Amino acid sequence: MHAPDDNKSPSITEEDDEDLFKFQPEETSSLISSLPPWSVLTVDDDRDFQRTTAFALDGIKIFNRPIELTQAFSMAEASTLLATQQRFGVVLLDVVMETDYAGLRLVKAIREVLGNAEIRIVLITGQPGMAPMRDVMSDYDINEYCTKSELTTSRLIAILTSELRTFDQLKTISTARRGLQLIVESSNRLLNKHDLTSYCDAALTEIALLLGLNPEGVICARADQIYQQPDDHKIIIVGAAGKLRNLIGKSIRELPDNKIVNGLLKAIHARNNIEQDQASILFFPKEMSGADFVIYLPTERTLLDTERQLLQVFASNISGGLHNVALFSRLDQLAYSDNLLRIPNKNALIRAIDRALLTEQRPRLLLLIVDLDDFARINHTFGLAYGDALLRQFSHRLCETLAAPTLVSRLGDDVFGILGSYEHVSASLVKSALDRPFEINGISHLMTACITSVYLDSVEGNARDAIRQGLLALKEAKRQGPGNSMVYDKNLENSAIKCFQILHDLQQALTDQQLFLAYQPKIDLSSGEIAGVEALIRWNKEGRAIPPSDFIPIAEASTLIHSIGIVVLTEVCKAIITLQQIGLTPPTFCINVSGKQFSDTALIPSILDILCKHNISPNHIELEVTETAMMESFDRVSMALREFRKTGGHVAIDDFGTGYSSLKYLNELPADTLKIDRSFVAQIESSHDHGSIASMVIKLARNLDMQVIAEGVENETQDRWLRDNHCDLGQGWLYGRPMTLDVLIDWLQERSLQTMQHSQS
């Protein structure tokens, strides 16, 4: 180790000292006085040199900034300082310390190991002979070299002035470069934020990062209608960091610090950015951002020029981003909200369910599907405006009853979807929203609804699957009647799959002509003669008979019922022709027509067309329509039936007594026959009923001037009772089971033989 070298003592003279104190840099500083001092490090094992240097620089300001001197007395000490502190702008470095080249080794370490390219290095040596080679100077970016004997105070300050200026410029460039890089990265991160809250959230974080600020206390507010009338209550906090986050959505008046409120207002009224000692307030005009926005940054210091410039670049980026977010919100509103009710729509519900399903731990969420009962009829009877008003009031009540964060959405028409936690959502809560009547145009209207529940944690699949499950359960709930509630369970799914399978097979059966008819006779109870036959469809699938009650409702839910109708009528026509060909007088053939078939407005013309093609008079045909089908769309069905009767065809009301006919309609029933439902025939023998309903239907038919037939007659007691009570006709196993055409022919031939023998004897 070398001992401190007295030869190396500095030669700063008295005159130089005067110079030194008079020294003022020529350039006016672009940096303002509160800027931190320059950090200069002197590295020398010569304590005298260190002392005189410190004395020479005491009280000196360069570019209006004082100098803060740090001293190191060895290469090792200097290395530690440089590695742990980045503040040094210039290092005055003695070449010879622990070793002859200790200084040069430190230079190498600064540039190569620490990677510090900005710090300025001035080599100082006691002897001219120790000057480094020129290529070493340039390789390690050694900026100045001088011997201690040359180093007067003024030379020292001249060197420091020049090196500190260079350091400052390099620093500015690298800060700007890093800043620009940050802006690009920040802007990229902001690109995928499409809603205002998450955009502001991200933008505030990015600004804080850019300026190296603590994000706490950063506020972004949206100022609507501010410049027509400066009403600061319309200035709403749309983004905030740290503790202030819970104020998002509230007025800036609720901010705890008046300094922030005043700063925000000042920028809004000035419609410009505002710089304060401790804060910067950025203003984004609505022309650029879709609405006026203002961001408060508690910088707690005055920003540097470079920082200010970076902020401006970033602010213009944010401006564009805010504008995009505004556009996106508008698009979002169009895509995710219901135009009529101004509540979220099906897309919004799907999005919310999908988000919930994607979370790792499925939240305990319940999806309710609510379908108002009888709404189509209300719309039809009272008009669309009335229906809309009803929907508005109902949606309003739902939103009141099930407050946010529960999502109340409209899936379509009169169907609503509700998503919320088990604790806050239930079918009974929805029902409570229907407890009181709705008041529309002075009319008080009570409504009911069918409600189904789907527990999200049991859903396999996505939002669409969850909604489909709810709708599937809804179908079942509706089938069970108005006001019904039901929870989705997997068995429903199985029955849906079964239905789909049946539908598929039925379609195939129709194509392969596997469907056929059975005929069941109707008997005139007073004469015992055959009064008609009812055609009943039959389907044997792989040797197994599928009852009509299993497949007719499924056919009714699709368009297959229309094809079945055509097959049945065509077969009946062929049966009539066959009977005629073998010399039998065909009785009236009764055909069951489903209510759904009447949705085809050309039903009667197409029936007449088929009859005409087979040259059969409508007089041979009776259409059986159930009372329920009749009541479901009385006007449409009765108009069609009237049209059929005009051509000579007959009409019977099937299953009478089960469809709750309104008395108002009874007089207008366009029918020749009422058919007592077999459940009432079965009650003839019951001890408490004694056939009271059957008897009532018989009397009703008399009054309406109609024929009456009892179906499902199985025994003599029923038969006797019906005769005693003047029922016209009977149908049932007692007289004949449904039979194939061949068996029917034998049956008819046998009976006509019996009649002949009877008349001969």
- List contacts with ligand C2E (CB under 6 A): 520, 536-537, 547-549, 552, 564, 568, 592, 594, 624, 654-655, 678, 711-714, 732-733, 738
* Nearest-approach distance from CB 350 to ligand C2E, in angstroms: 37
Between 66 and 659, CB nearer to Mg ion: 659
620 binds, among Mg ion, ligand C2E, none (CB under 5 to 8 A by kind): none
Between 91 and 533, CB nearer to Mg ion: 533
Between 71 and 661, CB nearer to Mg ion: 661
* Nearest-approach distance from CB 675 to Mg ion, in angstroms: 6
Between 338 and 655, CB nearer to Mg ion: 655
CA angle 538–541–542, rounded 5-degree value: 140
594 binds, among ligand C2E, Mg ion, none (CB under 5 to 8 A by kind): ligand C2E
Q: Are 344 and 408 in contact (CB under 8 A)?
A: yes
Three-state SS for 368? strand
Report how far residue 463's alpha carbon sits from residue 360's, in angstroms, rounded to the nearest whole number: 15
* Nearest-approach distance from CB 751 to ligand C2E, in angstroms: 18
Residue with tokens 């089908």: 629
537 binds, among Mg ion, ligand C2E, none (CB under 5 to 8 A by kind): ligand C2E
708 binds, among Mg ion, ligand C2E, none (CB under 5 to 8 A by kind): none
- Per-residue exposure over 482-508, b if at least 16 CB sit within 10 Å of its own CB, e if not: eebbbebeeebeeebeebeebbebbee
21 binds, among ligand C2E, Mg ion, none (CB under 5 to 8 A by kind): none
Residue with tokens 């005139």: 524
* Nearest-approach distance from CB 249 to ligand C2E, in angstroms: 59
* Nearest-approach distance from CB 692 to ligand C2E, in angstroms: 20
Three-state SS for 61? strand
**Interface ranges with Mg ion (CB under 5 A):** 592, 624, 654-655, 711
- Provide the Cα torsion 81, 87, 93, 96; round to 10°: 10
**Percent of residues in the chain assigned helix, strand, coil, to nearest 5:** 50, 20, 30
DSSP 8-class letter at 593? -
Between 473 and 681, CB nearer to ligand C2E: 681
Between 199 and 598, CB nearer to ligand C2E: 598
Report how far residue 527's alpha carbon sits from residue 445's, in angstroms, rounded to the nearest whole number: 54
Report how far residue 164's alpha carbon sits from residue 63's, in angstroms, rounded to the nearest whole number: 9
* Nearest-approach distance from CB 536 to Mg ion, in angstroms: 7
> What are phi and psi for residue 583, nearest 5 degrees?
85, 15
Among candidate residues 317, 316, 314, 30, the one with its CA nearest the CA of residue 171? 30
Between 263 and 732, CB nearer to ligand C2E: 732
* Nearest-approach distance from CB 705 to ligand C2E, in angstroms: 23
Between 462 and 558, CB nearer to ligand C2E: 558
β 544-546/292-297 pair status: unpaired
Q: Encoding tokens for residue 515?
A: 């469907």
Among candidate residues 439, 344, 346, the one with its CA nearest the CA of residue 395? 344
β 292-297/219-223 pair status: antiparallel
* Nearest-approach distance from CB 626 to Mg ion, in angstroms: 7
Between 208 and 576, CB nearer to ligand C2E: 576
List C-alpha distances in Å: 122 to 43, 85, 145, 168, 286: 10, 18, 6, 16, 53
Report how far residue 107's alpha carbon sits from residue 121's, in angstroms, rounded to the nearest whole number: 8
536 binds, among ligand C2E, Mg ion, none (CB under 5 to 8 A by kind): ligand C2E
Distance of CA 574 to the CA centre of its chain: 57
- Per-residue exposure over 50-60, b if at least 16 CB sit within 10 Å of its own CB, e if not: bebbeebbeeb
Among candidate residues 614, 511, 598, 518, the one with its CA nearest the CA of residue 563? 511
94 binds, among ligand C2E, Mg ion, none (CB under 5 to 8 A by kind): none
568 binds, among Mg ion, ligand C2E, none (CB under 5 to 8 A by kind): ligand C2E
Helix pair angle (741-760, 560-581), 10° resolution: 40
Among candidate residues 154, 159, 125, the one with its CA nearest the CA of residue 13? 154
Q: Encoding tokens for residue 37?
A: 């001092």
738 binds, among ligand C2E, Mg ion, none (CB under 5 to 8 A by kind): ligand C2E
CA angle 69–72–76, rounded 5-degree value: 145
* Nearest-approach distance from CB 596 to ligand C2E, in angstroms: 8
Between 338 and 677, CB nearer to Mg ion: 677
549 binds, among Mg ion, ligand C2E, none (CB under 5 to 8 A by kind): ligand C2E
* Whether the bond into 405 is cis, omega within 30 of 0: yes
Between 658 and 752, CB nearer to ligand C2E: 658
Between 492 and 536, CB nearer to ligand C2E: 536
* Nearest-approach distance from CB 497 to ligand C2E, in angstroms: 23
* Nearest-approach distance from CB 676 to ligand C2E, in angstroms: 11
732 binds, among Mg ion, ligand C2E, none (CB under 5 to 8 A by kind): ligand C2E
733 binds, among Mg ion, ligand C2E, none (CB under 5 to 8 A by kind): ligand C2E
